[in-house]
Amino acid sequence: MFSSLFKKLGGGDDTAAASSAPVAAPAAVRSELPLVKALGGKSNIRSATHIAYTRVRIELINPALLDVIALRQTGVSGFCTIAPGVYHLIIGVDAGLLAKELE
């Protein structure tokens, strides 16, 4: 599942996603992922934490930069606002891998 989400987000190819160990994308590539852009850019992400099997907790510096329409287009299954600037993204079983990419 992560390989298809990662591909939707603009990362790697199927060969890299199919390897037994996840390969971290270079920082320049990660900051260009559509999900990162939807969250207002890499510099707007205060923290990204894997909190539940399928969720990532995101804290944004400036919540006004969040683009909800773009976020939905990235393939995120859902999200909810926990507090101003704090969101839970429902990613799927590979939420932990995505959280590491967003750190």
Among 2-11, 43-52, 94-103, the minimum mean pLDDT is found in 2-11
Quickly state the pLDDT bin for 75 (edges 50, 70, 90): confident
pLDDT tens-place string over residues 50-69: 998 999 999 999 999 999 99
Among left, alpha and beta (phi > 0; psi -120 to 50; other), residue 29 is alpha
Its pTM stands at: 0.68
Task: Please report where in the chains the tokens 């993204």 appear, as a residue.
Answer: 89
8 A C-beta contact, residue 94 and residue 2 = yes
pLDDT tens-place string over residues 5-26: 444 444 444 333 333 334 344 4
Phi, psi (5° rounding) for residue 57? Answer: -90, 125
CATH topology of domain 2-102: Gyrase A; domain 2 (3.30.1360)
